[in-house]
Structure 1
Amino acid sequence: MYFKAEKFFVLVIFFGNIIENASKFEFAWHLIFVKDPAFLSFEYCFIKSVNRSYKYISLKANIYEVPITNESAKLQISRRFRSYMPITIAASQNLANPMLRLLEEITTNYTNTNHKCPYDHDLVVDRLPSQFLSEHFTNILPLPPGDYSFNSIWYSKNIERATICIYSTIS
């Protein structure tokens, strides 16, 4: 009887680890389009692979017309079927929404943008790890495996200034 219970316990631990490690978020590549070079430019934007398990993305936007007092952004997640098709996620104005909570945690922990207007400095995303995004996109907001695109269009004074597209894979 004790031997059967021990085997069952080992099987539960083994399959639990397989299920826990089954989903993995990885950065694939990125594109940046600057619509107004007189307004901003990107000093750097890169995806760095430190080793097989630790990858991160960093970027720095130099802003030439400061202070910014009226900014907005359009954010979209698309999944690739035959082409990239948008995913609809019900949005609300509270942080109970998983996408808004993710955005709030990114701005708090990995950027210097977590304050109200005006922005009078360059904008930096510093070492946003793929493990952090993997936890959100596979556990909190369970997206199925596939290729995804995260698109953001940035506006200031209702003029489109830049577009950032980050392509990734959830396996």
Structure 2
Amino acid sequence: MKFLLLVYVFLIGKSHGYVRLTNLKCDIFDRSFVEFPECRLKVLGRGVIGANIHFKFLKLPINRMVIRFNAYRKLSGYHPFLFNVSKDLCHALKYPNRLDVLYYFYNAFSPYSNLNHTCPYNNDVYIRKCILNDRMFSKVPLPKGTYMLTVEMDDGIKNWVSTVSVYFDIDVD
């Protein structure tokens, strides 16, 4: 009886799909503000791909930064999908809101990052071995497909300085 219960729990808890990073692209518009010494995907194991990003800020301290999240779904080209949100990062980290889309993204990648305090930032920001799994998308069930998430950064004076584009596939039942 215990064996059947364990098999049942194992089969129910097992995912029948995948969520996988496919590409990562970092673009710089203002080279006097930020650099990306590292922006790449790395294979961590069989079927496990992690993202490594190193933000090197050249104008320190960072007291205000506006970020814009855009989600796109690939149909016949990438089309806007689900949300397009702009937020002041320093304010959002100081006063977290569970109803905000930034809150969910921050909680998803914070275990992989050193972005764990509010402004001012006087050091580089790292995201190391960030992997996607199907549990991250349990609160927002997305249909199967190919997606692109862009994060655009503003220096706080209405100048867009960089864009990070993350491409991923979702195939979760």
TM-score class, shorter: 0.7 to 0.9
Comparing 60-69 with 101-110, greater Cα deviation is found at 101-110
Q: 1:53 to 1:158 in 2, by over 3 A?
A: same
Structure with higher Rg: it is 1
- Give 2:166's aligned amino acid: I
The whole-number CA distance in structure 1 between the counterparts of 2:77 and 2:158 is 29
Q: Equivalents in 2 of 1:53, 1:77: separation in Å?
A: 24
Per-residue deviation at 1:128? 1.0
Unaligned 5+ residue runs, structure 2?
86-95
> Which one of the candidate residues 105, 108, 131 is aligned to 1:106?
108
Match of 1:83 in 2: 77
Equivalent residue for 2:54, pick from 54, 60, 65: 60
Deviation of the 1:127 alpha carbon: 1.5
2:82 is paired with a residue whose SS is: coil
**Distance (Å, rounded) in 2 between the aligned partners of 1:100 and 1:40:** 22
Q: Which deviates further from its counterpart, 111-120 or 75-84?
A: 111-120
SS in 2 for 1:42: strand
Alpha-carbon contact 1:62-1:122 (below 8 Å) kept: yes
Q: If each structure's strand is expressed as a fraction of its own residues, which one has the higher value?
A: 2
Q: TM-score, normalised by structure 2?
A: 0.79
Change over 3 Å in CA distance of 1:10–1:95 after alignment to 2: closer
Residues in 1 aligned to 2:8 and 2:113: alpha-carbon distance in whole angstroms: 40
Structure 1 segments, 4+ long, off by >6 Å, are: 9-15
Matches within 5 A, 1:14-25: 16=12, 20-25=14-19
Does the 8 Å CA contact 1:23/1:145 hold for their aligned counterparts?
A: no
Superposition RMSD in Å: 2.7
Query: Which structure carries more helix by proportion?
Result: 1
| Pairing partner for 1:94 from 88, 94, 97 | 97
| Native 8 Å contact 1:59 1:124 kept in 2 | yes
Deviation of residue 154 (structure 1)?
0.4
- Corresponding residue for residue 3 of structure 1: none
Instruction: Answer yes or no: is the 8 Å Cα contact 1:68–1:120 preserved in 2.
Output: yes
Number of positions where the alignment pairs a residue of Structure 1 with one of Structure 2: 159
CA positional deviation for 1:14? 8.4
Q: Which moved more, 1:24-33 or 1:104-113?
A: 104-113
